[in-house]
Amino acid sequence: MLKTVKLRAGYGKVMILQGVDFHIGKKEIISIIGRNGVGKSTLMKTLIGEVPVSSGSIEFAGKDCTKLKAYERAQLGMGYIPQGHGVFPLLTVEENLLVGQCINGNKQTTKKHMELVYDYFPRLKERRTQRAGTMSGGERAMLSIARILIGEPSLILFDEPSEGVQPNIVELIGEIILKINADLGVTILLVEQNIGLVQQVSEKAYVIDKGLIAHELDKAMINDNETTKRLLAV
């Protein structure tokens, strides 16, 4: 589904990713963990096309998309939810969802799509005329997920959906991620510092350090708190 080979990228002359190699199979849920500032968000931005690739390659859905623009990757089915949720604060819930429809080509918003996301998130239906900027962190996180679902992605890149969200809603986000994966067959790449959420959803995790994939963890290693604590310790 997604594969990077010796991926190098950064800002100006400063290389943050130093040769990242990893892959995700179709319908897998994989997490990327690592300390603050190691380049997790840079990796996500490079995958979606916000940060240009310096060398190496990105393959998505059988296509080399190393040089494609962000909107072209979105049209191929790559959905991206940035750190901090990235909703438009002055737009209402419903308007934010309509923006989501534009991301994936020019498909008309169908009633079916709206019903699907309102079925996933009844809270958003109740608040559909409320401006996103006045909502709680948890509600904004739900809206960011709903907006991406409207564009029918085959892969979702989640950058720290738990940020600014209270624990019971983090668990709900985990349930939603599992449901999206099981019901809709969406492949998930999750960047997280919240190990509880990583343990709740992922089959495999990569630890990123110094711009490289330093470790690959299976389910048992992810669930071993001593291992994750040691790998994430400063």
Ligand X SMILES: Nc1ncnc2c1ncn2[C@@H]1O[C@H](COP(=O)(O)OP(=O)(O)OP(=O)(O)O)[C@@H](O)[C@H]1O
**Shortest reach from residue 193's CB to Mg ion, in Å:** 9
All residues at 6 or more sequence positions from 2 whose CB lies less than 8 Å from its CB, including other chains = 23, 24, 47, 58, 59, 60, 61, 155, 187, 189
Contact 93, 124 (CB under 8 A): yes
CB-nearer residue toward Mg ion: 43 or 97: 43
**Shortest reach from residue 202's CB to ligand X, in Å:** 17
Is 42 near Mg ion (CB under 5 A)?
no
Site for Mg ion in 12-41 (CB under 5 A): 40-41
CB-nearer residue toward Mg ion: 162 or 199: 162
CA–CA separation, 59 and 25 (whole Å): 12
Binding window for Mg ion (CB under 5 A); candidates: 57-65, 76-84, 125-133, 216-224: 76-84
- Order across the sheet with 63-64: list the strands: 14-24, 2-11, 53-60, 63-64
CA–CA separation, 170 and 63 (whole Å): 34
Site for ligand X in 91-130 (CB under 6 A): none
Is 198 near ligand X (CB under 6 A)?
no
Which of 83, 92, 130, 227 touches ligand X (CB under 6 A)? 83
Strand partners, 11: 14
CA–CA separation, 22 and 4 (whole Å): 6
Binding window for ligand X (CB under 6 A); candidates: 32-40, 94-102, 141-149, 194-202: 32-40
Strand partners, 209: 212
Which of 1, 2, 7, 16 touches ligand X (CB under 6 A)? 16
Binding site for Mg ion (CB under 5 A): 40-41, 83
Binding site for ligand X (CB under 6 A): 11, 16, 34, 36-42, 83, 193
